[in-house]
């Protein structure tokens, strides 16, 4: 490899905060103020609280499609803390936490999960694409956005979130290859939560790490402890800084764990993983417990703040649910109207037939 193309590949897992909430030997704190640290933890707690409430709403029949985020809070909260509001977010369906941090309202998040009209009508000042359901389908989009920033000589960055299963899709490889060739301002953030629905990582890839897949595309790759908020922040900040300076894209593999089911559409994790494994990740590696221990050791957090933050997010969620319960649910005709600027004749015919049927019903 020519000297100008040499890239540091760090595939030994990067960690700053160990499982006991202490700074690991040889590591140092990122450049974060006390307020920034607390804000990251507050968002992690908000995501965990939102997740629990959303699951209950789903079971009550008041929320539709939902992919639990519990266990992956550090990946989303800490990475977004390292970016700017001017950067562009390309989320997947499990990234409502990252989306809300970037500016998506809880009301919009609920509308999306309910499949209601307006759920993905994003505010013009929100630099975010709608959550992608197709696995890895948004990876080339993020690569293209990063290339556009490079062409325009903008310092903005595009970040795409996806799971370990996405690395088996063609879109993943096409996106990384394109970004590498054109040195796009893009961060590819893989939340390796160990399972692509029921398929474990060892059946997903024979690579020792996902991060090392970056080598094939001539871009930087780094594996980070995804349950360590400080390491996630630092890795994302460094990737963003490199991109802003025109030094190309980065693939970040954040090693984490999905505590709940893949989605609430009938998945039963008990059929493909053991209770012992789940307990090990939940009791010893929980990202919230780890960061809270560190904050408490610095006298930056208390039980009172924990309770207050949880109550605030629950109240915010309750108000949002009450508001959307009063909203119209939309019709099949709305789907046609919202799809095209000028409705094609064949769809107009279908719409007319639907409206006539509805009127005569």
CB 81 within 8 A of CB 40: yes
Q: Give which of 53, 127, 133, 136 is closest to 93, Cα–Cα.
A: 133
Q: Which residues contact 283 (CB under 8 A, 6 or more apart)?
A: none
Annotated catalytic residue 11: no
Cβ atoms of 45 and 306 closer than 8 Å: yes
Q: Is 182 a catalytic residue?
A: no
Nearest-angstrom CA–CA distance, 136 and 118: 24
Give the side-chain half-sphere CA count within 13 A for 125.
3
- Contacting residues for 320 by C-beta, under 8 A, at least 6 apart: 105, 106, 107, 110
- 59, 152, 272, 340: the active-site residue: 272
Distances (CA, A) of 331 to 111, 118, 224, 352: 15, 12, 45, 13
Clarify whether 262 is annotated catalytic. Answer: yes
User: Which run of H or E residues covers position 235?
Assistant: helix 229-244
Q: For residues 289 and 181, what is the distance between their CA atoms, to the nearest angstrom?
A: 41
The Cα–Cα gap between 259 and 45 comes to 15
Task: Check 258, 285, 290, 292 and give the catalytic one.
Answer: 258
Q: At what angle do helices 106-114 and 303-325 cross, to 10 degrees?
A: 50
φ, ψ at 160 (rounded to 5°): -115, 130
Catalytic residue among 262, 285, 290, 292: 262
CA distance 71 to 123: 29
Is the CB of residue 249 less than 8 Å from the CB of residue 180?
yes
Instruction: Give the span between the Cα atoms of 90 and 92, in whole angstroms.
Output: 7
β-bridge pairing 88-90 and 186-192: unpaired
List, by residue number, the catalytic residues: 258, 262, 272
């Amino acid at each position: 490899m020519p000297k100008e193309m040499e890239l540091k590949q760090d595939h030994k897992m990067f960690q700053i905060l160990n499982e006991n909430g202490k700074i690991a030997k040889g590591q140092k704190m990122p450049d974060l103020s006390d307020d920034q640290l607390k804000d990251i933890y507050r968002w992690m707690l908000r995501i965990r609280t939102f997740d629990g409430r959303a699951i209950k709403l789903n079971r009550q029949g008041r929320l539709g499609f939902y992919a639990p985020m519990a266990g992956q809070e550090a990946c989303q909260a800490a990475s977004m803390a390292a970016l700017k509001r001017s950067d562009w977010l390309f989320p997947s369906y499990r990234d409502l936490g990252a989306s809300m941090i970037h500016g998506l309202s809880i009301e919009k998040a609920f509308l999306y999960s309910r499949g209601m009209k307006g759920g993905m009508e994003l505010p013009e000042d929100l630099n975010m694409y709608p959550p992608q359901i197709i696995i890895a389908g948004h990876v080339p989009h993020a690569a293209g956005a990063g290339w556009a920033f490079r062409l325009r000589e903008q310092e903005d960055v595009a970040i795409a979130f996806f799971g370990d299963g996405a690395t088996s899709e063609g879109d993943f490889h096409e996106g990384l290859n394109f970004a590498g060739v054109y040195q796009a301002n893009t961060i590819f953030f893989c939340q390796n939560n160990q399972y692509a629905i029921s398929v474990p990582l060892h059946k997903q890839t024979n690579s020792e790490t996902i991060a090392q897949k970056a080598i094939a595309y001539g871009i930087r790759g780094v594996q980070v402890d995804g349950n360590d908020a400080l390491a996630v922040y630092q890795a994302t900040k460094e990737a963003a800084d490199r991109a802003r300076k025109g030094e190309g894209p980065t693939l970040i593999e954040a090693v984490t764990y999905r505590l709940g089911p893949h989605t609430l559409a009938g998945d039963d994790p008990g059929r493909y993983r053991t209770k012992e494994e789940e307990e090990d990740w939940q009791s010893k590696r929980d990202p919230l417990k780890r960061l809270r221990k560190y904050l408490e050791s610095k006298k930056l957090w208390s039980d009172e703040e924990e309770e207050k933050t949880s109550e605030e997010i629950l109240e915010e969620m309750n108000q949002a649910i009450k508001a959307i319960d009063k909203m119209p649910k939309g019709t099949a005709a709305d789907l046609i109207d919202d799809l095209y600027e000028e409705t094609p004749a064949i769809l107009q015919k279908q719409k007319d037939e639907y409206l006539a049927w509805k009127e005569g019903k």
